[in-house]
Amino acid sequence: MTNSNRILVVDDEPPIRKLLRVGLASQGYAVSEAPNAKAAIELMVQEKPDLVLLDLGLPGMSGHELLRKWRDDGFDMPVVILSSRTDEAGIVDALELGADDYITKPFGMNELVARIRVALRHRFQQQGERPVFQTGDLSVDLVKRIVKVEGKEVKLSPKEYDILRILVQYAGKVLTHQFLLKQVWNDSTDVQYLRVYVRQLRQKIEKTPDQPRYITTETGVGYRLREVE
């Protein structure tokens, strides 16, 4: 992946758009801007950006509605939500509609660029699963279903492995509680079941389960498998 990717910034606040234009340009990204949904829809067709930074609080058509339209129209580019909202429901709704990640205002440019890189990398990797996933001391062989920590095999229950497998397949991306429940249990099982299994999983793969290095909690939203150096 190179930094020649084009990013569409959809935000109605001129200072935010300027901040993003300058900051992302300094990282080598080409940036287009839209102050509302109408302009964003036109630019999507004209430029087909590699990634979208989308504010949820747009005038007229909301960010949720715009995201739903794009996904319905078949646009599958990564979308990172920019939101000044602290309500978890709005973020969860956006992720369920097909957003790849989110970051709340105010945000640091370094953190945002890191989220952008993860979203772009994950989208490029979707064409083929890596048979062996490696991050830090954690290794997951998706073919042989073997999990190792520091080279030693770790025995997981079927549900624990299923949760880890899904997290590995979407490494770096925040996954909502409901998404994980549907993938692992095929229904809307009580989220407490998920929390119990994640806690058990952390006990087996994390050096310090109470301060997890790999499986991090997105409060009120879900979980993310971090790819560490």
The mean pLDDT value for 198-214 works out to: 95
* Dist. CA 145–CA 141, nearest whole Å: 5
Residue 104 has what pLDDT? 87
Report the alpha-carbon distance of residue 125 to residue 92 in Å, rounded.
Answer: 24
Instruction: Please state, in angstroms and as integers, the Cα–Cα distance from residue 160 to each residue in 3, 147, 149, following that order.
Output: 37, 11, 15
- Residues 168-188 pLDDT 10s: 988 888 999 999 999 888 876
Read off the pLDDT band of 144 (50, 70, 90).
confident
Q: Which run of H or E residues covers position 31?
A: strand 30-34
pLDDT at 229 (0 to 100): 64
Task: Kindly state the tokens that stand for 140.
Answer: 């997951």
Q: In whole angstroms, how large is the CA radius of gyration of the chain?
A: 18
Is the model more confident about 21 or about 132?
Answer: 21
Peptide bond into 49 cis (omega under 30): no
Question: What pTM, to 2 d.p., does this model score?
Answer: 0.77
pLDDT category at 13 given cuts 50, 70, 90 is: very high
Give the model's pLDDT for residue 143: 78
CB atoms near residue 105 (< 10 Å): 14
Asked whether residue 189 carries a pLDDT value surpassing 80, the answer given is no
pLDDT at 179: 92
Dihedral over alpha carbons 31, 98, 60, 29 (to 10 degrees): 0
Question: pLDDT tens digits for 147-170?
Answer: 999 999 999 999 999 999 999 988
Pairwise CA distance, residues 145 & 165, whole Å: 9
DSSP string covering 57-105: --SSS-HHHHHHHHHHTT----EEEEE----HHHHHHHHHTT--EEEES
Question: Is the per-residue pLDDT at 2 higher than 70?
Answer: no
- Reported as a single tens digit per residue, the pLDDT across 69-125 is 999 999 989 999 998 767 788 899 999 999 999 998 888 999 999 889 888 877 655
Specify the pLDDT at position 127. Answer: 45
> How far apart, in whole angstroms, are the C-alpha atoms of residue 187 and residue 1?
36
Report how far residue 8's alpha carbon sits from residue 53's, in angstroms, rounded to the nearest whole number. Answer: 6
